[in-house]
């Protein structure tokens, strides 16, 4: 992969990392200053928004990546204006749904407190959806530094906007007003940057181009809706069966460490074009070898994180969200058990060999299974049931995808995936985990931060030593990392 593309991915990853950290910090502040009932209500607002907006956007932001590189300047101007207008219309629909459907939302979640806050929140979709595609646009215009800076700046601005009123004692209403003020500012700043290269072109529309965009975007949008429903289903079920304070506990446990998704997403962005090229050239063995190499390196990050946090889940969540949410550790641990699936994006291989419809079909199977498991397990297991069902569904879809990859590559499940590499990394991580528990055993009354620092320091040292000894971590990995650091400096 060229240095240019790697640098672009690096810039974008940096921006997304800062944005994710800002979201985690905002959650930590809100968890401390709001009661569980009020915090749960706030999280339910975002649950509804995050579930519905993919249905409204319907793949339009992603379509920008396909059309902008192919269009001339005049066509880009029309395309950009039309995309902005379509998403503005969608934002208006979602805003109306929040305002006029507030009672319905409150009824679904059995939370009357949602009615006034949903109506106060209602303008947010109208202000945020029109610029939903700014990252896609600026990446196509070869502006990765702008993407990184803008993502980080907006995340910091949102953090200040929601936390300042809270710290000043204005409660959830102050948080939502701060969010509205920020959303207005975001709309004007981002819209200005988006239209500056093209200008506005409202005088005439290219309906043929708009129809092409919808035809391209619709399948992507449906896949996004299915993926979102699968991801959010357990939270919707918990909100429907339990009160807001219990949902707050569940939501703070059902989080993904920002680093995990960013690492996997960045690797996927870099390798996808290589997978496509190798498949077109008929070099399936090289494709699999490249895939295995990437899995090994990603596993050296994800699997150790999983084992350490399984051990220190209560301390980690107490440090992050306060002792009020120590009981979120059970949900958090269940979610951590899904992390071995994140050492790669299995669908990337299928997409690179042209099996996009199959990926969509597997996603639908997973959603159906997840619905059944969530309902069954919440009735039989209780509060933790939906989390268990979600993790089982994730393993199920990845098993289907891996079995298909093995079939297409004329291989077997035993050979197509680097099981030995992952096993070696997990064994080393377990040994390091055993060595790291001494603060919990001998100094159980230490503050959470000190337990994490002492245990984490021990864990890192033992894991690196064990990984080098077992050759899970190769000398070349350390050399390449050092060269990359020196090169960036």
Coil, strand or helix at 355: coil
pLDDT, averaged across the chain: 85
The token pair that represents 470 in the structure block: 């077992």
Rounded Cα distance, 335 and 256, in Å: 8
Asked whether the predicted pLDDT for residue 131 surpasses 50, the reply is yes
Q: Mean pLDDT throughout 419-441?
A: 90
- SS3 readout for 365-403: HHHHHHHHHHHHHHHHCCCCHHHHHHHHHHHHHHHHHHH
Name the helix (H) or strand (E) containing 487.
Answer: helix 475-488
Average of per-residue pLDDT across 23-42:
92
Q: How far apart are CA 476 and CA 484, in angstroms?
A: 12
* Residue 337 backbone phi and psi in degrees, to 5: -65, -15
345 near 264, Cβ under 8 Å? Answer: yes
User: Tell me, what's the pLDDT at 8?
Assistant: 60
pLDDT band at residue 414 using 50, 70 and 90 as cut-offs: confident
Report d(CA 116, CA 121) in Å as an integer. Answer: 9
Per-residue pLDDT at 485: 38
Residue 484, pLDDT score: 43
User: Is the pLDDT confidence value at 486 over 50?
Assistant: no
Asked if residues 52 and 45 have their Cβ atoms less than 8 Å apart, the reply is: no
Judged against a pLDDT cut of 50, whether residue 488 lies above it is answered with no
- Is the Cβ–Cβ distance between 358 and 350 less than 8 Å? yes
Contacts of 402 (CB under 8 A, 6+ apart): 346, 413, 416, 417
CB 262 within 8 Å of CB 84 = no
End-to-end CA distance of the chain: 20
Q: Give me the pLDDT at residue 475, please.
A: 63
Q: How many CA atoms lie within 13 A of 75 on its CB side?
A: 12
pLDDT of 273 strictly over 90 = no
Find the helix packing angle between 448-470 and 313-321, rounded to 10°: 130
User: At residue 231, does pLDDT exceed 90?
Assistant: no
Residue-wise pLDDT tens digits, 244-272:
999 999 999 998 776 777 777 667 666 66
8 Å CB contact between 370 and 390: yes
With tokens 């190798």, the residue in question is 278
Q: What is the pLDDT of residue 35?
A: 93
- Where is average pLDDT lowest: 115-124, 244-253, 472-481? 472-481
pLDDT value at position 489? Answer: 42
The share of the chain scoring above pLDDT 70, in percent, equals: 90
CA distance 329 to 313: 5
Mean pLDDT value across residues 324-332: 93
- Residue 486, classified by CB atoms within 10 Å of its CB into exposed (0-12), middle (13-18) or buried (19+), is exposed
The pLDDT assigned to 389 comes to 94
Task: Give the pLDDT confidence score for residue 481 in this predicted structure.
Answer: 47
- pLDDT at position 482, please? 44
Q: Which of 6-10, 299-303, 405-409, 453-457 is most confident?
A: 453-457
Evaluate whether 348 touches 268 at the Cβ level (below 8 Å). Answer: yes
Supply the pLDDT for residue 184: 95
CA dihedral 381, 37, 244, 155 (to 10 degrees): -110
Mean pLDDT of 109-120: 95
Find tokens 């889940």 and name the residue. 313
Distance, CA of 405 to chain centre: 24
Query: What predicted TM-score, i.e. pTM, was given to this entire model?
Result: 0.84
Rounded to whole angstroms, the Cα distance separating 30 from 175 reads 9
For the chain, give the percent of residues with pLDDT over 90: 46
Cα distance between residue 129 and residue 53, in whole Å? 8
Locus of tokens 């390449």? 480
pLDDT digits (tens, 9 = 90+) for 169-213: 899 999 999 999 999 999 999 999 999 887 766 667 788 888 888
Q: Is 439 helix (H, G, I), strand (E, B) or coil?
A: helix
The owner of tokens 């299974």 is: 369
**Cα–Cα dist 168/171, whole Å:** 8
| pLDDT tens readout for residues 57-93 | 888 888 887 788 878 878 888 888 899 999 999 999 9
Report the alpha-carbon distance of residue 201 to residue 428 in Å, rounded.
59
């Amino acid at each position: 992969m060229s240095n240019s593309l790697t640098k672009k991915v690096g810039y974008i990853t940096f921006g997304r990392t800062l944005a994710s950290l800002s979201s985690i910090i905002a959650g930590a502040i809100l968890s401390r200053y709001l009661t569980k009932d009020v915090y749960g209500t706030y999280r339910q607002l975002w649950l509804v928004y995050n579930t519905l907006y993919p249905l409204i956007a319907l793949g339009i932001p992603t379509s920008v990546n396909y059309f902008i590189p192919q269009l001339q300047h005049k066509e880009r101007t029309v395309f950009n204006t039309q995309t902005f207008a379509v998403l503005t219309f969608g934002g208006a629909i979602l805003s109306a749904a929040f305002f006029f459907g507030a009672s319905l939302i409150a009824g679904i979640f059995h939370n009357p407190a949602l009615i006034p806050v949903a109506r106060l929140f209602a303008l947010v979709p109208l202000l945020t959806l029109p610029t939903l595609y700014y990252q896609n646009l600026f990446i196509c215009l070869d502006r990765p530094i702008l993407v990184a800076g803008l993502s980080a700046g907006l995340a910091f601005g949102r953090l200040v906007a929601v936390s300042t009123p809270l710290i000043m004692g204005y409660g959830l209403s102050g948080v939502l007003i701060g969010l509205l003020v920020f959303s207005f500012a975001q709309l004007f700043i981002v819209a200005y940057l988006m239209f500056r290269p093209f200008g506005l072109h409202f005088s005439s529309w290219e309906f043929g181009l708009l129809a092409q965009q919808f035809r391209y975007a619709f399948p992507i949008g449906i896949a996004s809706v299915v993926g979102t429903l699968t991801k959010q289903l357990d939270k919707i079920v918990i909100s429907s069966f339990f009160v807001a304070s219990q949902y707050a506990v569940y939501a703070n446990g059902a989080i993904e460490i920002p680093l995990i998704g960013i690492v996997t997403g960045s690797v996927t962005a870099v390798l996808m074009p290589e997978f496509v090229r190798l498949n077109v050239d008929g070099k399936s063995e090289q494709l699999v070898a490249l895939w295995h190499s990437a899995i090994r390196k990603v596993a050296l990050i994800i699997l150790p994180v999983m084992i350490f946090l399984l051990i220190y889940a209560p301390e980690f969540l107490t440090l992050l969200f306060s002792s009020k949410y120590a009981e979120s550790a059970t949900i958090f641990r269940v979610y951590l058990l899904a992390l071995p699936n994140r050492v790669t994006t299995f669908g990337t291989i299928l997409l690179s060999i042209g099996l996009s419809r199959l990926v969509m079909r597997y996603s639908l199977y997973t959603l159906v299974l997840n619905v059944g498991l969530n309902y069954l397990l919440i009735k039989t297991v209780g509060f933790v049931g939906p989390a268990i069902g979600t993790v089982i569904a994730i393993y199920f879809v990845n098993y289907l995808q891996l079995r298909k990859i093995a079939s297409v590559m004329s291989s077997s499940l035993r050979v197509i995936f680097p099981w030995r590499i992952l096993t070696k990394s997990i064994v080393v991580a377990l040994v390091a985990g055993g060595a790291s528990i001494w603060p919990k055993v001998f100094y159980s009354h230490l503050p959470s931060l000190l337990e994490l620092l002492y245990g984490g320091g021990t864990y890192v040292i033992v894991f690196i030593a064990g990984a080098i000894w077992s050759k899970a971590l190769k000398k070349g990995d350390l050399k390449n990392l050092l060269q990359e650091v020196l090169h960036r400096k």
